[in-house]
Amino acid sequence: MIRVIDHREIVQMLADAAEANDLTLERFYELGRRDELDNPTLRDLWLIWGDELTSEDVEELAKAS
């Protein structure tokens, strides 16, 4: 079974995971881009979905907060 996930769902999932680990989405994005995520769950999420996350997503979510 294949499930199509909307881009917004991916961004929200990553934001929720970051927040659950006391990070903002912006910090998660920075650490992921520098390959410095030491939490295995966050690192796995970055490896799976990181290429879907853009700096515009991070900025948009920061503005909404």
Write the pLDDT tens digit of every residue in 20-31: 999 999 999 999
Q: Give the up-direction half-sphere exposure of residue 62: CA atoms within 13 A in the CB hemisphere.
A: 13
Domain for residue 2, yes or no?
Answer: no
Residue 54 pLDDT level (bands cut at 50, 70, 90): confident
Across residues 34-38, what is the average pLDDT?
A: 96
Residue 52 pLDDT level (bands cut at 50, 70, 90): confident
Which residue range is the domain that position 17 belongs to?
7-64
Domain for residue 49, yes or no?
Answer: yes
Please report the pLDDT score of residue 41 as a whole number. 94
Q: Is the pLDDT of residue 62 over 80?
A: no
Domain for residue 1, yes or no?
Answer: no
Domain for residue 46, yes or no?
Answer: yes
Beta-carbon neighbour count of residue 59 at 10 Å?
13
SS3 content of the chain, % helix, strand, coil (to 5): 70, 0, 30
Interatomic CA distance for residues 36 and 22, integer angstroms = 15
Q: How many domains does the chain have?
A: 1
pTM over 0.85: no
